[in-house]
Chain A
Amino acid sequence: MSAAEAGALSPLGLGLERFRANRTALLAAAVILLFVLAALSAPWIAPHDPADADLFRRLQPPAWLEGGEWGFPLGCDSLGRDILSRLLFGARVSLLVAAIVICIAAVIGTLAGLAAGYLRGWTDTLIGRLVDTLLGFPYLVFAIGLMAMMGPGLHNIILVLVYKEWVFSCRVVRGETLAAREQDYVEAARALGAGPGHIMLREILPNVLSPVLVVATFRMAYVIIMEASLSFLGLGVQPPTPSWGSMVADGRDFLVDAWWVSTLPGLAILMLVLAINLASQGLRDAFDPRLHSA
């Protein structure tokens, strides 16, 4: 890539260009896309209603094992519900929760981080203390406590995860903002009479966006695991809505007799989380200026 070409690209464009050169990350992104497509089209591609129980198909094995049939390719759970259909609909829960939580958390975290980093003073102290307090709680214990108080359900799980999740983008943005506020372009804007709102949102924000993107993707994998953990503990979405976490929990009594009930949703979680982690590593490598300064 020549210097002239590179110069023509924005930091974001440059990063995406580097990301595309990373094969592993690209493959991971394709896997994520596949999961997203499957989740979006679940009502059309799922072979059965995910809540449709047929006790006579209780613990029916996957099609390739003895006793299985292709009408229920991944077998059935303990109530005779089709596991493939439940996995597809479960992907919606996992991805929906992750996407909403990460978006809200990123917006809140970024705004709070900008304010703390640019305004300093008591704003910084206040936000800083709040962040420290929230970070002091072990995440899962914090979430379990809140869920037990508010009761299970999709809305509550999103709220509970946002409560803590914004902290991570906030810390990153605050650090970046602290560095940026001393830069010449911020000095220049201030000299031209721009107000703090303008400087934060129009000058600094575009320059701290790439780390936010990287943090958000990293955290997304974590949020998916948190949702699965809470659902595993029975604090997540309510039945009959399938969630991967609760599917793993439902199958644990049958691990010896019917491994597929727990294992398949476990594999789905593993694949999605691994893909997101690889993709976010690719993003980090692509956007980290220290790796490309030469």
Chain B
Amino acid sequence: MAAARPAYAQARSREVRVGVAQDALTLDPANHRNRDTQNIIRNIHDGLLTRDVEMRVQPEIAESWRQIDARTFEFRLRPDIRFQSGDLLSAADIKFTFDRLAKDGAMGGQTSPRKGLLGPLQDTVVVDERTVRMHLAAPWPILPAMVPFQEVVNRRQFDRVGQEGMQTRPDGCGPFRLAEWRRGEAIILERFAAYYGGSTEIPGTGPAQIDRAIFRVIPENSTRVAGLLAGEVDIISELPASAMRQVEASQTAQVMKVNGTRSFFVAFNLARKPFDDIRVRRALNHALDKGAIISRILNNTATALRGVMSPDAFAFAADLPEYGYNLARARALLAEAGVAEGTELVIDTTAALKEIAEAIAALLSRTGLRVRAQIWEGAVLGPMWQAAERRRDRDMYLTSWGNGALDPSDIMVPTLRSGGRGNAAGFSNAEVDQLLDAAETEADQARRAEMYRRAQAIVTDQAPWLFLWLPQDIYGVSRRVTHWRPQADSRINLHRIRLAG
């Protein structure tokens, strides 16, 4: 057994270990829709564009880009970028990558689950060795904000290993190459010495500063925290708020936080009584003592929301009125709407949000309603609330929607436009629909922002949701780690990380 000593137990010099809750589902950048998977893939592959820690869009493989007209964008590539296999990157690889993402059936007969992230992208055309153009079916000004979500693959690697091979044998041009993937256990990455250096707009170019990076899969929260405190891992993601004190108290690690991009809310089933009555929806918004949950359970690691959008997002409406905590007002509104004391209401959610759901249920029950939480399997719950027919008998749904692009188009259109794929409440407002549609194609950013602000005001006024909060992402980080900061898009970028001592 001595020979079977795991590779990650070897010498620790210049090796960073990251404890994550979930293994990658695949290493094919086109074949998933999963944040944790992308975190790992993004250290192997680079994108055409990227975001810096302030969330500004920056060039990466592209050296520059420009909008030619409302439906055309042009990207100019940097010269001399090599994939880890040694192949030279060219415009044909960019075309291959984006065709594979955006065209139906282009992924070995399947359509990429990431297609929706590229909106109306119709075609990618090679202009010359170092220039590509993207043609859109309709104007879509947020394309540059969405391109950083995609990673460039090598078209020759696809020819070599095929669709199946792409899942496990990545060939990117990022700072690390795959050494070994032990499913469910660890992903071991090695420094790619011939790395072109990454975005010139972000300080610290050149190959990675460490020799190895290991993502260890540690699903259990307390085990992950213990691993950090014992020095077995250097960074852990999804640090539970309840463990922050413990990490801060240790000599070896610290807590790092960053505003997330995920808005939490409870969707009311608007098609069902009593939620068809706006007074009930407003009453429940008044009834929840959000501050108590944020301070007591979330350890002050969340920002209360008055509406949909993150305060960091484009076109955030800062002047929305607030449904302040006011139990008497909530009771009065419920009585006015004729909702009887003791009416039973159920909040559906998944196991991960059980504690929050139970806390919300208990606090809402103070109105005299009897609110309880019901825990479901995620694979059952999501589809159930997507279909109007299947959610007919359900009351409320505690969920969240990520907005990594920090643009209303990426969250309001799916969750609040009539028929949107995440519109669990079944919200349908003609003016909101019209504003969202117009903003989607408006090239003047100031006018776009104005439309979105107006839409946010209507949504908050109509209260299709119980507006909750925007949690911070919390990381535990060893004090030996330098030159690393968590990012709002929850990327764990190890390119510039260094180890002290």
Contact = CB atoms under 8 A, between A and B. Distances in A.
A253 B375 contact: no
Interface string B347-365: 0000100110111011100
A53 B354 contact: no
Contacts of B297: 55, 58, 78-79
A55 B358 contact: no
B149 to A, nearest CB: 31
Given A53-B363, A151-B380, A240 B358 contact: yes
Contacts of A44: none
A240 B376 contact: no
Interface string A109-126: 000000000000000000
A55 B380 contact: no
Contacts of B222: 252-253, 255-256
Given A56-B296, A58-B297, A79 B362 contact: yes
Contacts of A234: 351, 354, 375
B246 interface: yes
A184 interface: no
Interface in B360-407: 361-363, 372-377, 380
A93 to B, nearest CB: 15
B407 to A, nearest CB: 34
A148 interface: yes
Contact residue range for chain A? 20 to 34
Interface in B288-308: 292-293, 296-297
Interface residues of B, number: 28
B19 to A, nearest CB: 15
Interface stretch (B237-245, B267-275, B410-418, B452-460): B237-245
Interface string B205-230: 00000000000000011100000000
Given A234-B351, A240-B372, 19 more contacts: A51-B362, A51-B372, A53-B358, A55-B359, A56-B292, A78-B242, A79-B358, A79-B359, A151-B380, A238-B375, A239-B354, A239-B372, A250-B354, A252-B221, A253-B222, A253-B243, A255-B222, A256-B246, A257-B245
A68 interface: no
B374 A53 contact: no
A11 to B, nearest CB: 48
Nearest to A258: B242
A107 B234 CA distance: 57
Contacts of A52: 362
Contacts of B374: 238-239
28 contacts: A52-B362, A53-B358, A53-B359, A55-B292, A55-B293, A55-B359, A78-B355, A79-B359, A148-B377, A151-B377, A238-B373, A238-B374, A238-B375, A239-B357, A239-B361, A239-B373, A240-B358, A240-B361, A240-B372, A250-B354, A250-B355, A252-B220, A252-B221, A253-B240, A253-B242, A253-B243, A256-B222, A257-B242
A47 interface: no
A13 to B, nearest CB: 48
Interface of A: 51-53, 55-56, 58, 78-80, 148, 151-152, 234, 238-240, 250, 252-257
Highest count of chain A CB atoms <10 Å: which of B242, B243, B374 = B242
Contacts of B246: 256-257
Contacts of A257: 242-243, 245-246
Nearest to B359: A79
A148 B358 CA distance: 21
Given A52-B362, A253-B222, A254-B242, A58 B375 contact: no
A143 to B, nearest CB: 15
Interface of A is mostly: loop
Contacts of B355: 78-79, 250
A53 B377 contact: no
A238 B361 CA distance: 13
Nearest to A238: B374
Contacts of B363: 53, 55
A60 B274 CA distance: 37
A67 to B, nearest CB: 15
A238 B296 CA distance: 24
A10 to B, nearest CB: 49
A73 B246 CA distance: 26
Contacts of B380: 151
A294 B351 CA distance: 58
A78 B221 CA distance: 16
Contacts of A53: 358-359, 362-363
B375 A152 contact: yes
B476 to A, nearest CB: 13
A257 to B, nearest CB: 7
Q: 5 closest A-B pairs (Cβ-Cβ)?
A: A53-B362, A55-B296, A234-B351, A55-B292, A239-B373
A151 B350 CA distance: 12
A239 B375 contact: yes
B242 A239 contact: no
A2 B355 CA distance: 63
Central interface residue in A52, A238, A253, A255, by most chain B CB within 10 Å? A253
A78 B243 CA distance: 13
B349 to A, nearest CB: 10
B194 to A, nearest CB: 44
A215 to B, nearest CB: 33
A52 B220 CA distance: 28
A250 B355 CA distance: 8
Given A151-B376, A257-B245, A58 B296 contact: yes
A256 B242 CA distance: 10
Contacts of A151: 376-377, 380
A80 B245 CA distance: 19
Contacts of B359: 53, 55, 79
Given A55-B296, A55-B297, A240 B375 contact: no
B275 to A, nearest CB: 21
A15 B492 CA distance: 67
A259 to B, nearest CB: 12
Nearest to B379: A148
A152 B381 CA distance: 12
